[in-house]
Amino acid sequence: MEERIEMDVALSQGLRRLPVYLLLDTSGSMAGAPIQALQEGVALFKREVENDTFARETVWVSVITFGKEVENLTRGLVPIDQLTLPPLEAGGYTPLGQALRLLIESLDRDVKKAVPGGEKGDWKPLVFILTDGKPTDDWRTPREELLKRRERKVLNVITVGCGPDIDEATLREIAIGPSFKMDSDAASFSAFFRWVSQTVRTVSKTLSRPQGQGEGSPMSIPMPPDVLQYIP
């Protein structure tokens, strides 16, 4: 009798996720076309990530907005296919500090650490911060905390400043990790979110080789589009 080739072996039901955080500025200065472009950009991001087999399986997203309110719109991390946003409204100041605190809360609460013999941990979270103005609250303390985590290589953060109200000096001051500057027109937002999607998809492919996300060898990010100007 021919031997069967298949094997019946129990395997983990856990999933190692790639947490992706989008911190989006919804302050008053984003009113009009920019907020509309932001909304469309998030939808584009969702579509592009969903279309990638590997990213679709691993990417979980959290969206934090900061403007009139500071909110975690997704209430933690959600699978990419469950990402839905209410209509975004622009208003208020730029409470970046509160948004960073909300981010830290979610990182501590929602990102799982690997425990051999226990739960499968998550991959290193990837954070994108998009802002168009100077922060209006205490942002230095939470930024220091995030910088420490980044130095411990447990976090990747990319900061992007957009529009005419943000200068390079401010961007350098608030940046956590690589920082870029761009315009606030619809084409720039679209290019930015397309690049975010590409970055997430690239990282989701290198995360089986975690050094791809480490500091020693730079995070595997695709070349930014022309609309993004790198701030050294």
Partner 1 sequence: MLSSFNTHPDWIAVFGALGRYSFVGGSAVGRLHSREHRGREDSLLVRSKGDWLCVAVADGVGNAPKGVWGSALAVSAFTDRALFHLPYSCTRKVRRVSTKGTFEKNSVSFSPIPGWCEVGVLSFFQEGEAEEGEIPPWETVQEYLFEAGEYTHRVLQDFAQREGRDPQDFATTLLCCLFHVAEEKGVFFHIGDGALLGVRKDGKSVLISVQEGRDTGEVEVLTQPDWRDFCRAGTFDFRKDHLSAFMLMTDGLADDCLYGPPEDITDRFALDILREVRATSSREAAARRLVFWLGTYTLPGSFDDRTLVVVYR
- Contact residues toward partner 1 (CB under 8 A) are 3, 5-17, 53-54, 57-58, 113-124, 152-154, 205-214, 216-217, 220
DSSP state of 24: E
Nearer CB in complex with partner 1: 22/219 = 219
- 10 Å Cβ neighbour count for 87? 7
User: With helix as H, strand as E and coil as C, how does 149-211 read?
Assistant: HHHCCCCEEEEEEECCCCCHHHHHHHCCCCEEEECCCHHHHHHHHHHHHHHHHHHHHHCCCHH
Nearer CB in complex with partner 1: 8/226 = 8
Nearer CB in complex with partner 1: 53/141 = 53
CB of 172 to partner 1, least distance (A): 26
Nearer CB in complex with partner 1: 118/164 = 118
CB of 108 to partner 1, least distance (A): 13
CB of 16 to partner 1, least distance (A): 5
CB of 212 to partner 1, least distance (A): 4
What does the buried/exposed string (b/e) look like for 118-143 if buried means 16 or more CB atoms within 10 Å of the residue's CB? eeeebbbbbbbbbbbbbbebebeebb
SS3 113: coil
